[in-house]
Amino acid sequence: MQCPVCTDKTLIMSERQGIEIDYCPGCRGVWLDRGELDKIIERNAAEQAPAVASRPVVPASAPPPQHAPRPQHDEHYRHKRKKSFFEELFD
């Protein structure tokens, strides 16, 4: 299939985590077939749900926890965050 934007490039099919993605190597555009966006949204929601459910419930009357301020630009304090489903999918 030809790229709708470039018109001279052929789309490349790639399967990532069970979802078929068509992308253009020229403009790096991504196209999904019917139902594939729904699959991506469902998987992302399922991935995010356990993180929300595991948060502790804090009563509204409890004072906020006191934390010591951390240096903002110190290289030792930078933590790598986990990639989201979307970042892994399009990586």
In a domain, 53, yes or no: no
Q: How many angstroms separate the CA atoms of 20 and 4, rounded?
A: 18
Boundaries of domain holding 3 = 1-34
| Per-residue model confidence as pLDDT tens digits over 24-55 | 988 888 888 888 888 888 888 887 776 555 56
60 in any annotated domain: no
For residue 22, is pLDDT > 80? yes
How many Cβ atoms sit within 10 Å of the Cβ of residue 22? Answer: 17
Bridge partners (DSSP) listed for residue 20: 15
The reported pLDDT for the residue numbered 46 is 83
> Which string of b and e fits 50-67 if b means at least 16 CB within 10 Å?
eeeeeeeeeeeeeeeeee
The answer to whether residue 56 is domain-embedded is no
Q: What is the dihedral of CA 32, 34, 38, 40, to 10 degrees?
A: -30
